[in-house]
Amino acid sequence: HWTDQPYKWHINDGEEVFAVLDGAVDMHYRESGIERVVTLVVGDVFFAGVGCEHVAHPRGEARILVIEREGSV
């Protein structure tokens, strides 16, 4: 569960896709140095392109499918 993981800003070395399967998630991301937040609910998808700094904050318990390149950090 994402509720067990610490919230840490990160930038993946590849593209990353998040799909919310259950619950809700506040996805924080930075564009041109400005922090933005979008609330994702069941069925929503968030695309983090190369270089997109982001951090997910689940609202309680949530299930998220994360698709990223093998070995991505």
- Judged against a pLDDT cut of 90, whether residue 28 lies above it is answered with yes
Q: What percent of the chain has pLDDT over 90?
A: 64
pLDDT value at residue 33: 86
Give the number of domains in the chain.
Answer: 1
Residue 73 within any structural domain of the chain: no
Q: What is the overall mean pLDDT for the chain?
A: 88
CA distance 46 to 31: 14
* pLDDT (average), residues 15-34: 94
Q: What is the pTM of this model?
A: 0.81
pLDDT band at 69 (very low <50, low <70, confident <90, very high): confident
Q: Tell me if residue 3 falls in helix, strand or coil.
A: helix
Nearest CA to 11 out of 24, 25, 30, 26 is that of 30
* CATH number for the domain harbouring residue 9: 2.60.120.10
pLDDT value at residue 31: 86
Residue 19 within any structural domain of the chain: yes
Residue 57 within any structural domain of the chain: yes
User: Domain of 6?
Assistant: 2-68
- Strands (DSSP E) found in 1-73: 16-22, 24-31, 34-41, 45-48, 54-58, 63-68
